[in-house]
Amino acid sequence: MTQAFDPTPLLGWCTSDLDVLTDCLRRAVEIESPSGNRPAIDAMAQFFAAEIEAAGGRAQLLDHDRAGAAVVGEFPATARARTRDEGKPLLLLGHHDTVWETGTLVSMPFLLRAGLAYGPGIFDMKSGIVCALWGLRALGALAVPRGRPVRMFLNPDEEVASHAFRKRLQDEARRAAAVLVLEPAAAGGALKTARKGVGELRVTVRGCSAHAGINPAAGVNAITELARVILRVTELADPERGVTLTPGVISGGTRSNVVPETAQASIDVRVPSMADARRVERLVRAIKPADRRARVEIEGGINRPPLEHKRAAALYARARALALKMGFDLGEASTGGGSDGNFTAALGIPTLDGLGGVGDGAHARHEHVVVRELPRRAALLASLIATL
């Protein structure tokens, strides 16, 4: 269907409505929604629920006493499905929490300057949600038929590991034919066709305390032993293949004149495949202390499985073909950061990430999107929905 489909009317409609789209984006950015701030998250959820209804969908809020509300949007199919598979929905996946605390707008307000739009959370990832809504609006305005229903799931705690609704978003993915992730684009607007798996290993070494001056040999120095363990852990890294193990936080000891009894380290782990994840975890857990009187304890592991390229390849090829018809090319990229797309791809569901705004500065004070790219991203999403 991609070969016969003409996406240019969708691009034209989205371009003509850019001022309205931009105003919606401004209003979304000006509702601050830091992770863990339930009233703020709930206000953001209510805003996007209203915008889903305005785009012709039905919205539902799912409450959570700590994380705040998730948003589920549903857009029925407008054409009859010919097969059972064609009746499976497409899932648009995003999150409405940000890393910015309430009050950030005072020093970092929404701003339009030199073709860029600035503001906290605008790139990661409120622009992606707004572009998806405008893509759905364009389909309705131009009466473009779609054989699949569309569901939208907006997660309230993606920036803090997606604990509250992880099972629900995985259930949504299991019912879907494909997942389109509204996270921001990679550099130059590239789509994200691979993401590393992400994890944290917590290493604790337990030794034996003693007086550092009178009888140090009676003790077992947990810090010294931890240092040896860390060196062995980091030797497992293979940066050329994308396997990294990075010690980030270390603590231990009580006083300078006491042989430390315990020491801990947190190690960030990034892997390109589940095979790498299993190998790294197995090798780390097999590490033994050099001093047999010490004990090494390993906790944690991979908490976001990798989004492997094979899950995205076919969707990327379709997206690129549609973009070329609209007069622009789409690259592809791999990234070390994780998203909720990691979870859906691990279930075996075709998943394409990075369909949101084009810009820069995620989690940084210069966070921004390129305004002229917004209609293209909306039209691309609309075209994928119409042709998948």
Distance CA 96, CA 307 (A): 21
Q: Is residue 50 packed enough to be buried (19+ CB in 10 Å), middle (13-18) or exposed (0-12)?
A: exposed
**pLDDT tens string 22-72:** 999 999 999 999 999 999 999 999 999 999 999 999 999 999 999 999 999
The CA distance from 9 to 238, in Å, is 47
Q: What does the alpha-carbon distance between residue 89 and residue 150 come to, in Å, rounded to a whole number?
A: 5
What is the Cα–Cα distance from 346 to 67, expressed in whole angstroms?
A: 24
pLDDT (average), residues 351-378: 98
CB 172 within 8 A of CB 340: no
Q: What is the mean pLDDT of residues 362-386?
A: 98
Residues 249, 266: Cα–Cα separation, whole Å: 5
User: Which amino acid, one-letter code, is at 93?
Assistant: L
Mean pLDDT, the chain, integer = 96
Choose among 322, 316, 352: nearest CA to 1. 322
pLDDT above 70 for 176: yes
What is the reported pLDDT for 3? Answer: 77
Quick: pLDDT tens for 74-117: 999 998 767 777 789 999 999 999 999 999 999 999 999 999 99
Give the per-residue pLDDT at 18: 98
Q: What is the CATH number of domain 8-194+307-387?
A: 3.40.630.10
Length of the chain: 388
Cα-based distances in Å from 49 to 37, 57, 166, 182: 18, 9, 20, 16
C-alpha dist (Å) from residue 110 to 16, 97, 98, 134: 22, 17, 15, 20
Asked if residue 1 has pLDDT above 70, the reply is: no
Report how far residue 172's alpha carbon sits from residue 75's, in angstroms, rounded to the nearest whole number.
14
Residues of the chain with CATH 3.40.630.10: 8-194+307-387
In whole angstroms, how large is the CA radius of gyration of the chain? 24
The pLDDT score that the predictor gives to residue 85 is 75
HSE-CB for 92 with a 13 A CA cutoff: 32
DSSP assignments along 11-23, one per residue: HHHHHHTHHHHHH
Assess whether pLDDT exceeds 70 at residue 304. yes
Domain with CATH 3.30.70.360 in the chain: 197-304
pLDDT for 247-285, tens place per residue? 999 999 999 999 999 999 999 999 999 999 999 999 999
Closest CA to 29 of 93, 109, 107, 106: 109
Which uninterrupted H or E stretch holds 74? strand 70-75
Q: How far apart are CA 168 and CA 155, in angstroms?
A: 10
- The whole-number pLDDT of residue 86 equals 74
Rounded to an integer, what distance in angstroms lies between the CA atom of residue 368 and that of residue 123?
6
pLDDT of the residue at 28 = 98
* Bridge partners, 74 (sequence order): 58, 151
The per-residue pLDDT for 2 is: 74
> How does strand 178-181 pair with strand 90-95?
parallel
Q: Helices then strands (H, E): number in the chain?
A: 10, 18
CATH of domain 197-304: 3.30.70.360
